[in-house]
Structure 1
């Protein structure tokens, strides 16, 4: 397939299908536009700094101008818009999020959440390419040597280098504490053997951060550089969700890793858990962005679409769905803001991140279904955006741990009984 899609692609979709693109309705009702004000029924913007609002606006403008006009075609072809996303994210200067120094932006965690939401409002691929590399950056920043930080972080912050985060394995998902990939010391190298699955960025990554169990049974993090002998990546085709996100199986056979490429301070599943907890905050914000995208599209469509001589937005049943969506989105916004605020003040507990992730991912599935219902049969057309987000919400639902795992994490906290199998 060809690389870059035309910016008129959504209009072409509409023309082929004999309908009006939701793009027209979105702009005519002023629900969406370059720099348009996001959904904000409770005045959450008043809780944000000017810098946070300005950063969110920059990301929203990029998504509206460069992602939304073309992403439906990429999704249909299951094609990765690398030539759009990598330069675009580099221009925005958001890589590294709340990390400070080494060329990282050092934004607030609240701002990092706002950026994640706006990325996912465009497509989960925008979020996924950033968060996969960002997780590696966070590990290096938190536990890497000064030499390691200087070597990788400045270039990763500019997106001149990409990272991939390799934790999940073919037979190890939620039970990540029992990794099968193993590593042994051999002179001035480590030797890695094992397999990883669902690894984003793996083929393009300059470094893959591989979690593996060492000879003492302890989990460590190892930076495998691009082109290392013994590393094979296999594209995972046939996905019905997150189709724009390139996912890979990675096999490691006697891969030699220099001793300096071990993230020396990273020790055990507790440190992995710290990364995943931050990831759950970001995914909760990404789910919010997906929900906002569905609500924006459904509202604009309802205002524009006429049946029985008047807009369907005037019908009681349609208003009920729109009001419910807005109410849930408002609750999600407040959860995200408060969680980001707690992180910024060093007061966040892991169970709070689990609650936000569990709630927001679950509610996004319901909001997407309601938005699709508002649009009737037109809701399954890609130019109307919602069906893409509805499918992708199934992927977000599993990112960084399923709702079952999050429920057990919270349950353990409130009952003091561990119900994990």
Structure 2
């Protein structure tokens, strides 16, 4: 039996947390342990989620917690927000994704780019889970090249028509509203606050995905949907505004990936310390200790990066390249950790009675979304060289 659990926080970073941060972290950790872990494997197997999670996540403050109280947030620091995302993804990447979308990709743009009327109408409802949102930028023909988007907002006499499609959109099938990015007739990118129940909007759930099976992902088709001027976010100006939103989500992914890695490491550590081969625990074998020690090292490195990233963000000094570096490096670390931990369990690691394969499949999505693995290298590369490799 394992004698200690210092692998989860090997450099004692949590000892520096404030009492408030520790209380928030513990409340989310407890909710994940008691509410999510007993049922998440069933949901993943059945490709389902419990809609009640949304209300419960809201009660925990996970929707827009980093926004100011005046904008229906809780004045969380970036460190607090990161800790929350880490705990959610320790449960499941899909769970953290739903929270990231609601807070970082829906509430944030309304708070940052929306009118006073839009903020008053939606932010409190989104924060409490009474309203569910989605974020539509990716299209079937345009993933890593958002400038190529074909969704159009066409001006008429006193209204607009929205036409196009969005692909791989989290929460769309259960969403009440969507932040949809489109090009106007001047070819400028604008953000539309779309009522998902409007005539001309159709949503199809993607049922054949192997990853993020405990969250809802869909395609959105918009066929000449009538849009009023009051539905357009007035202060969203071009692709830069959309990418600002994505940086909020990428920050959450950098922290969340560590949560998934911790879940895999916990499982492998417990298994290795309790499973016997050749008359002694697996954890006593040199090669198993090598795997575990390398895994704990990689997690500790990611944690150190995340804590510094949060410090920079809280001081208003973080850059897009730093966020991209952390997102890419930590997702790669978590994916490698999941693979290594699965090997420690051998064939048992393939079973749904252990969480590793579920995390492994989920992490394959994290490699791709909110900027693919290689795109993040180019974002950091542009910052360190001064050259734009995208064109």
| Common topology (TM > 0.5) | yes
Residue 89, structure 1, aligned to residue 34, structure 2:
no
5 Å matches for 1:24-35? none
Partner of 1:419: 389
Residue 389, structure 1, aligned to residue 359, structure 2:
yes
Q: Which runs of 5+ in 1 are unaligned?
A: 1-24, 32-36
- The C-alpha deviation readout for 1:172-210, integer Å capped at 9, x for no partner, is 111012211010222342210000000111121111110
Partner of 1:122: 91
Q: Secondary structure at the match of 1:383?
A: coil
Partner of 1:277: 247
**Partner Cα separation in structure 1 for residue 190 and residue 15 of structure 2:** 42
Match of 2:46 among 74, 77, 80: 77
**Partner Cα separation in structure 2 for residue 125 and residue 367 of structure 1:** 18
**Partner Cα separation in structure 2 for residue 399 and residue 216 of structure 1:** 28
Match of 2:269 among 288, 292, 299: 299
Task: Say whether the 8 Å CA contact 2:101–2:249 is kept in structure 1.
Answer: no
**Partner Cα separation in structure 2 for residue 98 and residue 338 of structure 1:** 17
**Partner Cα separation in structure 2 for residue 106 and residue 249 of structure 1:** 33
Partner of 2:13: 44
* Matched pairs, number: 389
Match of 1:178 among 143, 148, 153: 148
Task: Say whether the 8 Å CA contact 1:96–1:106 is kept in structure 2.
Answer: no
Q: Which runs of 5+ in 2 are unaligned?
A: none
Q: If the length of structure 2 is used for normalisation, what is the TM-score? A: 0.96
Task: Say whether the 8 Å CA contact 2:94–2:362 is kept in structure 1.
Answer: no
Task: Say whether the 8 Å CA contact 2:55–2:130 is kept in structure 1.
Answer: no
Q: Secondary structure at the match of 1:241?
A: coil
Residue 66, structure 1, aligned to residue 11, structure 2:
no
Task: Say whether the 8 Å CA contact 2:7–2:296 is kept in structure 1.
Answer: no
- The C-alpha deviation readout for 1:337-393, integer Å capped at 9, x for no partner, is 111111111001110001001100111110000000110110001111111101111
**Partner Cα separation in structure 1 for residue 7 and residue 230 of structure 2:** 45
Partner of 1:287: 257
Partner of 1:244: 214
Match of 1:98 among 66, 72, 75: 66
Residue 225, structure 1, aligned to residue 225, structure 2:
no
**Partner Cα separation in structure 1 for residue 174 and residue 139 of structure 2:** 19
**Partner Cα separation in structure 2 for residue 53 and residue 331 of structure 1:** 21
- The C-alpha deviation readout for 1:30-57, integer Å capped at 9, x for no partner, is 86xxxxx981000111332221111111
Q: Secondary structure at the match of 1:39?
A: helix
Task: Say whether the 8 Å CA contact 2:166–2:220 is kept in structure 1.
Answer: yes
- RMSD value, Cα: 1.5
Structure 1 range deviating more: 99-108 or 59-68: 99-108
Tell me how far 1:79 sits from its aligned partner: 1.3
- The C-alpha deviation readout for 1:82-132, integer Å capped at 9, x for no partner, is 23x123212212211210123211111111111111101101121111111
Tell me how far 1:29 sits from its aligned partner: 6.9
Tell me how far 1:418 sits from its aligned partner: 1.9
- The C-alpha deviation readout for 1:229-266, integer Å capped at 9, x for no partner, is 00000111111111112110100000012211111000
Q: Secondary structure at the match of 2:172?
A: coil
